[in-house]
A and B are shown apart, each in its own frame.
Chain A
Amino acid sequence: MRLDADWYDFRDLGNSVGALLEQIEDWGAPEWVPYVVSGLIGVLAILLWTVLSVLAFIWIERRVVGLMQNRIGPNRVGPNGLLQPVADVLKLLFKEPITTRHADRGLFWLAPIVIFVPTLVVFAVIPFGERMVLADLNVGVLFLIAVGSINTIAVFMAGWASHNKYALLGAMRTIAMLISYELIQVLVLLAAVLFAGSMRLGDIVAWQQDYGVWLLFLQPLGLLGYVISGAVEMNRSPTDIAEAESEIVAGYHTEYGGIKFGFFYQAEYLAGFAIAAVIVSLYMGGWTLWGLEEWVPGWFIFLAKLYGVFFIYIWARGTLPRLRIDQLMAFAWKFLLPLALVNVMVTGGEMLLWQEAELSSGEALPLFGVINAALAVALIGGWAWFLGQLREERVAHRAILTQELGAIYFGEAASKL
């Protein structure tokens, strides 16, 4: 995009905002006013977009999951159930937010806020278009991980303040899950940053635009690791062990009702959008589409990709059964962590090879893509087979009480299996 494009050039909404800021400066405002105005516009735009997306996706998710499970989904409230999100929000707003007698009032009130704010702040570093980043930080990728790690504190506060043993148990399980997958997230994002040479998300998108390749072709192991750890960070099925209604009542947000639960609900969707946005920016080229961004607005391409990735997560929710907590932890520590470490080593080696052998990008990148893809297939298949060999055989046992009773009533032979 040219920097002096006209204000009505909606291919990049930064042009309109830039024209507005120049106009403010021409009116003779002091120096800090354009800066504050641009910040406010960015914040309001992000808030508006997230709220509208959450409303839309409440309906879309329930409809799509319903159709996948061979039922209709919401179709009562409004034409085809399209006003269902409005009904949901009204219900949450009007319900009485009860605080139990023994709950820790300060922390109980604070936990929904602390879980909502970090997921919103993540959107500040994500490039929606060429000049549509609220704060293109030098340490953007690290900022994403750091802000995501505050979720663990909020989950603990919610579980502890409820003064409810199921809530505390759910919170502990969720925290164990979150910190394990956070480690894998860091390693996988490290490998992606190695390719682009910078932690700034705008630079990573520009790298993908310059070399004309999406990072997911060069980092298949990384994409696998990040998609799975993203699903866990979102607390979505198949990894929603924290809020599994049939298992632990509702985990760490058991005692929350009304608009406090509304905050948890919205934070879950926002976390989903944030993870999808990071996947799109880092692995799928962000707002670029191999030159199509000359005609189609960049932010439109970005949102289309984001909703596509989020649709895959909805698809996974409707299809896959829920995993147990020990299965999840074993998967993280035994399977994904070695893969992520090997990925980092191989990526580092490739970058060194690229520099030392002075290959051009035309011959280096396909070579790396093929090596990484082959390595991914070999490692995933081979390591999974190897771990399967190590699993001990399960022997069926009868419960002890049944054995004893069987021995009493039917003689000694009945107490064996």
Chain B
Amino acid sequence: MSVDLEHYLMVGAVLFAIGLYVALAKRNFVAVLMGIELMFNAVNLTFVAFSRFVESPNPLDGHVFVVFVITVAAAEAATALALAVLLYRVRGTIDVDRIDLLKW
């Protein structure tokens, strides 16, 4: 009974798929953003799993990449949420089904 790389990759794949579903199928703009954050988490998990298990001259490069992904995700979340608030101010709604035309 042991836990190998494949187990972590499966968890990452399932998390990525759930995040993809949330990002594509939810009606609220902020819920779409939550799906995107789930996808970032899945990707980070696979990076760290690879860094732990796979033969490499610099194994901790995976961790450095994860630090950068977390940083960029924070910046992107701040900007996207500011956009959500602005969208509500301009359009009166953040339902993505009703913001599908550039005019009216």
**Would A and B touch once assembled, by the CB under 8 A criterion?**
no
